[in-house]
Structure 1
């Protein structure tokens, strides 16, 4: 029940936008422009809002073009060979072929076919085809106006809601991996790896939300003031995805280290724990819209702990884990707004390695462990 209420609340704005756009589209087309039954206008308005998050301008263009293709084919074929099942099948076949040939996406293909069917079954060829095209143009324009001017979404709300599950899953996977490594339990580490693999879906939703928010900020003057705060998410999302992939490599090597019975210093799982803490701090600091200073401090602490683990002695896979911690932290620092060269320098300073890793020199003199 609680989950259903939360989903309903999250969809309230889209529902409000769609209802307002549909009503306005009908009013403009019917009452202002004098169209007797402008059913394409509210349809176009709702499709523009409901099926085009993040690409509304492009998909609205596809929508209107699809209506034009469908109407043109429908009216033309009906005029030439009349109506009937065969004509409807031919109209849809040609509409889909044309939409696909011009490289259209799903909205263009679906709208071309559905518009052709509506023209062939619910309307007659006696009217002027351009009027139905005008209906679609009015509906698409009203949809864009509603989402840009009348009821624009709050881009920060959209992005933070999408970022929250992604970063929580990332944090949880790292913490699970740290506990599994500390307990020397390969099954716990495998579960952590599966959790992070599943997090790919939440990161995809996060990136989609960013696209939607960027479009919203670009076209909605009321939301222009959100550009600065939104930039944190926009610039950090790609680097977080890189960090996630490096962490997954790290966890696989941690599992291999346990399976090969390699030494695991206590500070190594501690390092991974700190990395998870850093991701959680980033979620909190982004949500508050503050400079992610605590995130950077905790991330660099993770690097320092990994350096200590290397100096205490790790096997081959353990060395890979250390290297991946460094890379993941560098990505995380870049997600906080630090440039590549500076992030790399801070990582090396934190771990205490200059030139060739000091820990590697020590290990080269250490007798091989059985």
Structure 2
């Protein structure tokens, strides 16, 4: 029940936008433009608002083009061979083929086919074919006006809701990997890797939300004040993606180290756990809109702990794990707003290499057997 209420609350703004846009689209098309039954206007308005975030302008254009293609094909076929089930099948077949050949996305293809069906089945009852094209223009325009001017979404809320599951999955995968390393359990480490692979979808949603938020801020004057607060997410998302990729390499090598029965110093899982803590702290500090100082501190602690693993002794794959911790932390620091050169300097200082040339590290002494 609580989860259902939370989902309903999350969808309240979109529902409000859709209801307002549908009503306005009907009013404009029916009352102002004199269309007797402008059913396509509210449909187009709702489709515009329901399009994938960050692509509404493109989707609206494809919607209108799709309607035009479908209407044109439908009219041509009806003029040549009349109406009937065979004609409807031919109309839809041609509409989909032409839209696909034109390189259109799913909205263009679907709207081409559906508009062709409407022309083939409702031409005698809905007036001239061009009126449906007018409906699409009215509905799409109303939808864009509602989402950008009349009732724009709060971009920070959209991005924060998208970032939360992505960062939770990221930190959770790291914590699971740390537990697997500490327990010398390759299966648990594999489960952590699977969890992070599954998190790719949440990161895709996070990036799409950022695109949508930037679009919203650009076109919605009421949201211009959100530009500064949104910058943390916008500038950090790409670096987090890089960090996620490095962490996946880290976990694969950790599993290899366990399978090869390499020595696993106790500080190595501690380092990975600190890295997971840093990601979770970043999630919390971004959500509060504060500078992520705690995330930076915990990330650098992860590097410091990983450096101790060299002194305690690691095998080949263990050394790769340490190297990937450093790289992932550098990416994470950049996600918090630290410049590249400064992030590199801080990582080297934390691991104790600040006085050494880049690309070198202290050679390990051969272990006695």
Q: Normalized against structure 1, the TM-score is what?
A: 0.95
Residue equivalent to 1:241: 241
The DSSP-based 3-state class of the residue aligned with 1:63 is: helix
Tell me, which stretches of 5 or more residues in structure 1 are unaligned? none
Q: How far, CA to CA, are the matches of 1:287 and 1:111 in structure 2?
A: 39
Mean CA deviation greater in 201-210 or 72-81: 72-81
In structure 1, what is the Cα distance between the partners aligned to 2:198 and 2:38?
45
> Partners of 2:98 and 2:52 in 1: how far apart?
21
Q: Which runs of 5+ in 2 are unaligned?
A: none
Q: Which residue of 1 aligns with 2:285?
A: 285
Q: Distance in 2 between matches of 1:318 and 1:219?
A: 50
- What is the count of residue pairs matched by the alignment? 367
Secondary structure of the corresponding residue to residue 314 of structure 2: coil
The CA deviation at 1:358 is: 7.5
In the TM superposition, what are the counterparts of 1:1-370 in structure 2 within 5 Å?
1-124=1-124, 127-353=127-353, 354-355=356-357, 360-361=362-363, 363=364, 366-368=365-367, 370=369
| Cα separation, 1, equivalents of 2:311 and 2:192 | 26
8 A Cα contact 2:246 2:327, kept in partner: yes
Q: Given the superposition, is the C-alpha separation of residues 344 and 84 from structure 1 closer, same or farther in structure 2, using an over 3 Å criterion?
A: same
| 8 Å contact kept, 2:37–2:126 | no
Give the TM-score of the pair, scaled to structure 2.
0.95
Q: Give the Cα separation in 1 of the matches to 2:231 and 2:368.
A: 49
- SS state at 1:52 partner: coil
Cα 1:75–1:124, aligned 2, differ >3 Å: closer, same or farther? farther
User: Deviation of residue 242 (structure 1)?
Assistant: 1.2
> Secondary structure of the equivalent of 2:199?
helix
Bigger Cα displacement from structure 2, 127-136 vs 211-220? 127-136
Please give the alpha-carbon distance, in whole angstroms, between the structure 1 residues aligned to 2:22 and 2:340.
48
CA distance in 2, matches of 1:311, 1:125: 83
Asked if 1 retains the 8 angstrom alpha-carbon contact of 2:123 and 2:129, the reply is no
Change in CA separation of 1:126 and 1:75 when aligned onto 2, cut-off 3 Å: farther
- Aligned equivalents of 2:242 and 2:151: distance in 1? 35
Distance (Å, rounded) in 2 between the aligned partners of 1:17 and 1:37: 22
* 129-138 or 188-197, which deviates more: 188-197
d(CA) in 2 for partners of 1:114, 1:308: 64
Select between 118-127 and 207-216 the one with higher mean Cα deviation.
118-127
Deviation at 1:16, TM superposition (A): 1.2
Root mean square deviation of aligned Cα: 1.7
